[in-house]
A = this chain, B = another copy of it.
Amino acid sequence: MKVVVVLAVATILAASQCHGSEYDRFPLEMVSDGYHPGYPPEVWCPSWRVAVEAHNYINWKTVPSECANYVASYIEGDQYDSDSKLVNQQAYFYAKSLKRTMNDVWIFNIDGTALSNVPYYAKHGYGVKPYNATAYDAWVRKGDAPALRQTLKNYHNLLGLDFKIVFLTGRTIDKKAVTEANLKEAGFHTWEKLILKDPVVYNGQSSVAYKTAERKKLEKEGYRIVGNIGDQWSDITGKFPGFRTFKLPNPMYFIA
Residues of A within 8 A of B (CB): 22-27, 34, 36-39, 43-44, 46-51, 53-57, 78-79, 82-83, 85-90, 92-93, 96, 152-154, 156-157, 160, 245-247, 249
Cα separation A92 to B56 with both chains bound (whole Å): 12
Q: Is the CB of A47 within 8 A of B85?
A: yes
Task: List 12 A-B residue pairs with CB atoms under 8 Å apart, sorted by A's residue number.
Answer: A24-B153, A26-B89, A26-B92, A27-B96, A38-B85, A43-B82, A44-B86, A47-B82, A50-B53, A51-B90, A56-B247, A57-B90
List, in ascending order, chain B residues with CB within 8 A of A156's CB: 22-23
Main secondary structure of the interface of A (DSSP, over half): helix
- A236 closest partner in B (C-beta): B55
Find out whether the CB atom of A93 lies under 8 angstroms from the CB atom of B247: no
Q: How far is the CB of A76 from chain B (nearest CB, A)?
A: 14
Q: Measured between C-beta atoms, what is the minimum distance from A158 to chain B in Å?
A: 11
Contacts of A83 in B (CB 8 A): 46-47, 50-51
Contact B47 A86, beta carbon cutoff 8 Å: yes
A118 vs B46: C-alpha distance in the bound complex, in angstroms? 21
Cβ–Cβ contact B87 & A51, under 8 A:
yes
| Chain B residue at minimum C-beta to C-beta distance from A46 | B79
Q: How far is the CA of A240 from the CA of B133 in the complex (A)?
A: 37
Q: Taking the nearest CB of chain B, how far is it from the CB of A162, in angstroms?
A: 14
Cβ contact within 8 Å between B249 and A79:
no
Q: Given that A39-B82, A86-B57 are known contacts, is A26 also in contact with B247, CB under 8 Å in the complex?
A: no
Min CB–CB distance A123 → chain B (angstroms): 26
The 8 Å CB contact of A56, one of B25, B43, B90, is B90
Query: Is B78 a contact of A43 with CB atoms below 8 Å?
Result: yes
Judge whether B82 and A44 touch: CB under 8 Å: yes
Complex Cα–Cα for A156 and B19 (A): 14
CB-CB under 8 A from A51, the residues of chain B are 83, 86-87, 90
How many whole Å from A212's CB to the nearest CB in chain B? 17
A92 proximity list for chain B (CB < 8 A): 26
In the complex, how many angstroms separate the beta carbon of A91 from the nearest chain B beta carbon? 8
Across the A-B interface, give the 10 residue pairs with the lowest CB-CB distance, nearest first.
A23-B156, A53-B54, A39-B82, A47-B86, A47-B82, A47-B83, A54-B247, A43-B82, A56-B87, A26-B89
